[in-house]
Amino acid sequence: MNGLSRPPLSPNESDIPLDTQTSMTFTDSPEPDDCIVLGAGMAGLSAADALRRSGYRVRVLEARDRFGGRLEPGTIAGHPIDLGGMWVSPVQTAVQELIDRFGIRVYEMNLQGRLVGRVGDRRFQVPEEAWDKGLPMLSRLRLGLAASRIRRLMDDIDPERPWASPRAEEYDRETVASWMNRNIRDRTVREVVDFTVKSVFCAESNELSLLFWLFYLKALGGLEVATQGGPGGAQNQLCVGGLHQLATGLAEPLGEALHLSEPAVSVTQTDSGVTVRTAGATYRAKRVICAVPPTLLEHIDFLPKLPTPRQQLLQRQVMGSCIKIWVAWERPFWRNQGYNGMIADAQADFSPVFDAGPPDSDIGLLAGFIEGRAADTWSDQSEEARRDMVLKTLESALGPEARHPIDYVERDWTGERWSRGCYGAFLPPGALTRFGHAIRQPFGRIHWAGTETASVWSGYVEGAIRSGRRAAEEAASQMS
């Protein structure tokens, strides 16, 4: 953000730490801000941070009673955990920059030992995360061929403008499932790809546009990056104390400029500025950055109305379905038994599962997910029923000791009011080629941020940070 011009700091832009994440009451803004940011997730906080550090007067309005968005702190057995996003990768430069800036320590996810997996009726145990070694030899060869073909399809995708890629219309006419049914005859390989899609998108392969899938993979570096926990993989590192500390580090310097429990009701723009109204206040600014999850924008009244392509795109963006679950034991018993805590069971509703504890952890910690169609089903069940299903799955994979945890914590993101799902939004066939061009296109004085708008690491915290910084640059260029 060194390229942003730097007018003098205004008085209420001082670095006042937040003592607590509670709602606050504000009156009408006495003078216009340079920029109002809607949403205090990682995209909104990154945009506000970039503008504030460049000397602009910024205000952040957040609907929740906390900051962080899809990063959320929690505790289990007295230990801090992430109820939302938790992994980082050493190749995610924006994330690593903030980790260094805030002095957060990281550790690599435990891969030492055997992974427990199942595809179809075949159960297996393989070293580290080499789950493909558990497949029949012929299926393993066919999986390699399918992966090579997917990489070739990705070659022509432009992550900045996927809708303009050479075969975009062709790819956007079908789902991942329909492409697999025509190109992958091996049922075991199709099941592996189905499981991978569900694990990455919290959705089913018959819901995703093939073009969107290829764009997503290209934007983060390939299928292997999306699925691996080793060096360079998207699940390689975790933060001591939790990834949500990044949100805290960005939020604290905002001080009173960060308003919690204050969702925007309307955004009205004229030739001279923008007016944002909430239930209890009115604010004015030169520019607005909207970093609200796409499925929630229907609750904001935009005047003038949003362009039709933008409206149609928002109507087609669908949030994934995910329930995240943590389980704690007195000790990581699986490590002594030669397991690494990773479970990749394509038949189980609770899978994948990972050992999320640091190497020297004094307790055992596993984090796992119920995703896609399974999350839709289990969300309507009781917590007791989910807990029983989870423990049965863990017992089947790791033995009877798994049935006796000391704590259990879950976060049902399908019912989270201000996200309506996790990890991010996906697109069905036809949407990206028809309306994708509107995803980052400013509307007058309104700029768009959010991980779904990123062209690099879209859907991840890295993408959220990059999108916020991009939106800040756009807004600043019009305020200079």
Q: Which residue type, as a one-letter code, is found at position 62?
A: E
Instruction: Label residue 430 by pLDDT band (50, 70, 90).
Output: very high
- List every span in the chain annotated with CATH 1.10.405.10: 136-227
Instruction: Label residue 388 by pLDDT band (50, 70, 90).
Output: very high
Which CATH code, of 3.50.50.60, 3.90.660.10, 1.10.10.60, 3.90.1170.50, is assigned to 73-90+234-238+321-415? 3.90.660.10
- The pLDDT, as a whole number, for residue 30 is 63
- List every span in the chain annotated with CATH 3.50.50.60: 11-69+245-306+443-477
Mean pLDDT score, 445-459: 98
Query: Using CA atoms, how far apart are residues 312 and 267, in angstroms rounded to an integer?
Result: 19
Q: Looking at the domain 11-69+245-306+443-477, which fold is it?
A: FAD/NAD(P)-binding domain (3.50.50)
Q: Which of 218, 269, 247, 256 is nearest to 98 (CA)?
A: 247
Q: Which of 359, 350, 424, 426 is nearest to 389 (CA)?
A: 350
| Weakest mean pLDDT among 5-19, 152-166, 250-264 | 5-19
Instruction: Label residue 7 by pLDDT band (50, 70, 90).
Output: very low
Instruction: Label residue 4 by pLDDT band (50, 70, 90).
Output: low
- List every span in the chain annotated with CATH 3.90.660.10: 73-90+234-238+321-415
pLDDT tens digits for 304-318? 999 999 999 999 999
Query: Using CA atoms, how far apart are residues 9 and 242, in angstroms rounded to an integer?
Result: 32
As a CATH number, domain 136-227 is 1.10.405.10
**Tokens found for residue 33:** 């801000």
Q: pTM of this prediction? A: 0.93
pLDDT tens digits for 37-52? 999 999 999 999 999 9
Beta pairing partners, 73: 82
- Left (φ > 0), alpha (ψ -120 to 50) or beta: where does 341 sit? left
The distance from CA 32 to its chain's CA centroid, rounded to whole angstroms, is 32
Query: Using CA atoms, how far apart are residues 477 and 172, in angstroms rounded to an integer?
Result: 34
Query: Using CA atoms, how far apart are residues 89 and 328, in angstroms rounded to an integer?
Result: 24
